[in-house]
Structure formats: structure tokens, C-alpha cells
Amino acid sequence: MRPNVLVSVVTAVVAAAAIAAPGAAALRADVAIVFARLDESDIATENYEIWVMDGRGRDQIRLTNNDVGDHEPVWSPDGTKIAWVRYESQFNVGAGDIWVMEADGSDPHRLTNHHADIRRPTWSPDGTRIAYTLDYSIFVMDADGSDQHQISPAGAFDYDPDWSPDGSQIAFVHTGGDIFTMWADGSHRQRLTTTARISERRPAWSPDGDRIAFGGYDSQTGWHAYVMDADGTDRSVLVEADSVDPAWFPEGDRLAIYASTRRDYGLYEVRESGHALKPLGRVRNVFDIQPDIVG
């Protein structure tokens, strides 16, 4: 387990789980999930806020509380910080920047000053750098916001970066919605998928680097979560229901996703095989999206 993983949230739950059911139950409690939540009362403005909870969906704590949209939260590898996108209005569109805060919500501060179309930060595995999308090009900066530079070629239409666990590659989406990889310096771009009717988004490496999960819009059947080998082979639908935003649990055998089923909508836990879909941290009258997990 990584140190300092949202200690204030999970300590009591870990102790209780160890008494009730040692082993797997304690492991699940010693995981923290960050996500964006929209209360139905704010649906007209899409005023999402950042929340955290433990790996079983309990001990939910709100970290942001303001009149602008907060989206796409992501843990630093050691679990001590959260980077996210803060828009300059309530809506999750338009100008925004990358912000960072401590795991308990303290010391929120801006890392970029672009006031532009900015999306999906992702930390390097050693925690020293952050990649992100700016105006459909991928940029990288140091974790303190310095040395911001573009690694996508000029004129490229790249977005949704995700760093590989060994730090050598970045997976991303390119024009037309196909998934590519490139080395962390932007070189050696390689296509992983070629899909005629599916537009993909938000690739997410498995903890061991062997698999990549992602969301995709099929023009015939709608949104689904998918998983494939890291070289683009052995692709399969993870969840048949409308689903996006896959995030891996540290053990690599389960994922959290956003899904809309016949019964409900929000975050769900699902096995890597696609079985055992079950609600995760369900609360009535809210929309929970964009999970990220550390443990």
C-alpha cells in the first residue's frame, strides 16, 4: 500500500473492517476514491464538486464548495494530493485551469493560468510531473506547475492522456476517437485501435501495465466501458450498460465506472472480467462521475 492515503478518511474504517472481516475487507477499506458529484438541485448549472470516499463507498467527504464547476479529479501516486480541473463558470465547459489541493481539501491552488479549454490531468508514476489536455494538444508540466510544454506535434488533435505505470508511455485519444500511445517525451506515437463506428475516450492503464480500460461511444449501441491488452489486442466490452470513466482498483482485478442501468445511475464496481456489477457509494438524487482510485 502507498503511504498517507487519505488517513483521515480511512483509518477508522480499516480498524472496523479488520475486526469484522480481516484480509480482503480491510484491503478494500484501505483505498480512497476521489470523484465529481452533482446534486440534482444544481443540475441546471452542472455545478459539480469534488468528493472522496473509501474503497467500499463509505465515509464520503466533500472537498470543494463553490459556485464553479470542479471536474476530473485525480490522485497523486502517493495519495497526498489531488489535481483537478476547475472551470471559471458553473458549467463544465469553457475556460478552466488545473488546480491541486491536499488530500483533505486544504491548500487549493492553481497550477496553470491558461484560462482555456483544459482537461484531464494525469500524474506521472513518480509524482514529479502532470500531463493534461490544452486545446486538444497534450502538455506536460512539473508537479508544481513549472516547465509547461507541449508534447503533441503541432496541429495534432490529442486528448485524454493517461500515464503508464512504469512512466515510459502516455496513452491518449487522437482525431477520430482512436487510442494511441507515445513515449513520455511525445515521440514514437503508435495507434492501438482502429474502430469504424466507436469513438473512444479516457484510456486508463491497469496497475500492472498489461491492460487498458476506456470508454467508447458505439454509434449503434451507445456508450460502453471496454478493456483490452496494452498492445490493443483482445478487446472486449466490460459493461453492456451505458458506462464510461473506468478507473482501476490497486489490486487490478476490479474497476470503478460510471454506469446508467435500468435501476439507477452513478458509480459502480465491476470485476475486470465484466461480472458482478454493483453500486459504489450510492446516494439518492446525485450524479457521481469520473472516479480515480489510490491505495
Domain ranges of the chain: 34-294
Q: Indicate the burial class of 126 (C-beta count within 10 angstroms; 0-12, 13-18, 19 or more).
A: exposed
Q: Are 267 and 249 in contact (CB under 8 A)?
A: no
In angstroms, rounded to a whole number, what is the distance separating the alpha carbons of residues 92 and 275?
Answer: 32
Query: Within a 13 Å sphere around the CA of 61, how many CA atoms are in the beta-carbon half?
Result: 17
Helix (H) or strand (E) holding 10: helix 7-20
167-220 confidence digits (pLDDT tens): 999 999 999 899 999 999 999 999 999 988 889 999 999 999 999 999 999 999
Cell of 239: 459493461
- Residue 155 binned pLDDT confidence (cut-offs 50, 70, 90): very high
pLDDT for residue 24: 36
Residue position matching grid coordinates 453500486: 279
pTM: 0.89
Beta strands in 135-273 (DSSP E): 137-142, 149-150, 158-163, 169-174, 178-183, 190-191, 198-205, 211-218, 222-229, 236-239, 242-248, 254-260, 265-271
Task: Enumerate residues 6+ apart whose C-beta is below 8 A from 282.
Answer: 57, 264, 266, 267
pLDDT band, residue 18 (cuts 50/70/90): very low
The string of pLDDT tens digits covering residues 223-273 is 999 999 999 999 999 988 889 999 999 999 999 999 988 778 899 999 998
* Count of other CB atoms within 10 angstroms of residue 14: 19
What pLDDT does 90 receive? 67
Q: Which CATH architecture has domain 34-294?
A: 6 Propeller (2.120)
Please give the C-alpha separations between residue 269 and each of 2, 10, 42, 45, 187, in angstroms, as whole numbers.
21, 18, 26, 28, 35
Identify the three-state secondary structure at position 50.
strand
Q: For 26-59, how does the pLDDT look when each residue is reduced to its tens digit (9 = 90+)?
A: 345 689 999 999 988 777 777 899 999 999 999 9
